[in-house]
Amino acid sequence: MHRLILMRHAKAERGSPSGRDRDRPLSPRGEADALRVGRILADRGLKPDRALVSSAERTLQTWELVHESLGDVEVRQVDALYEAEPGTLRTHVEDESELAGCLILVGHNPGIHQLAMELLMEGAAAPSVLDRLAAGFPTGQAVVFSVDAAGRYALEGLVRPEDSDT
């Protein structure tokens, strides 16, 4: 794997008809944001060949909307990614590392945020970058890492829904 994209699902509704958190759908803003992030990734040439997506409704909907701009991507829906700890997320990423050139993982906070911070610290990211990401990991945001031959992660950039408006 030469690139990893960690993405938090887009903005979701506060509730679901079933009352279960796992079933919460995207809000209209979340739908628009996910479409924008997909276009930004595609415009920047950040097209994954594999995707790992939590089985929650909001992550599946986020992926479907992001995917519209990205072309052919092999997708795995993974129940264990729902509310997963960073160690679980990392294990799934590492399990895919030999299979993917560019991997995107669509999941949830706090795990996505914590894993991103761990990878940034391991990659000796600048304090300003750490401060920016430490402030939060909003819905719909993605962080992009390049991965060297030794498996070290280096920040390539952040993708936010509002980036297309600038």
Domain map (residue ranges) of the chain: 3-13+21-165
CA 69, 55, 53: angle at the middle one, nearest 5? 40
| pLDDT tens-digit series, residues 102-159 | 999 999 999 999 999 999 888 877 888 888 888 889 999 999 999 998 888 999 989 9
pLDDT of res. 39: 96
The proportion of the chain whose per-residue pLDDT surpasses 90, expressed as a percent, equals 71
Average pLDDT for 33-53: 96
Instruction: Decide: 21 and 120 in contact? Cβ < 8 Å.
Output: no
**Does the structure show a pLDDT above 70 at 64?**
yes
Average pLDDT for 86-115: 95
Burial state string for 112-137 with b = 16 or more CB within 10 A and e = fewer than 16: bbbbbbebbeebebeeeeeeebeeeb
Cα 152 from Cα 166, distance rounded (Å): 31
Fold of 3-13+21-165: Rossmann fold (3.40.50)
